[in-house]
Amino acid sequence: MENMTWQPIDTAPKDGTNVWLFCPDEEPQQCAGYFTGEAGAYWEPCDTLVSSVILEVLPTHWMPLPDAPKVEE
């Protein structure tokens, strides 16, 4: 697992990788999201497929998402 501590947003991946975001001006303040590559430093929450409204947030920090749980067969 990668470093699971908050890091400044300017160090976040810019390749569409989903990460955990901290957005102090949003509610909730934490969400998973990714860099859209549009409008500078905007991010879209990962769950926009569920909503007809695309939300762009201004995170200040990020951290990698945890590894998925192992599924036993």
Model confidence pLDDT, tens digit, residues 52-71:
445 677 889 999 999 889 98
What pLDDT is attached to residue 53?
47
Q: What is the DSSP letter of 57?
A: B
Q: Which residues of the chain have pLDDT under 50?
A: 51-53
Please indicate, yes or no, whether the overall pTM of this predicted structure exceeds 0.85. no
Where are the domains positioned within the chain? 16-64
Count the Cβ atoms, other than its own, within 10 Å of residue 61.
Answer: 18
C-alpha distances in Å from residue 33, one per residue of 49, 52, 70, 72, 73: 12, 16, 22, 28, 30
DSSP characters over 3-20: --S-EEGGGS--SS--EE
What pLDDT is attached to residue 52?
41
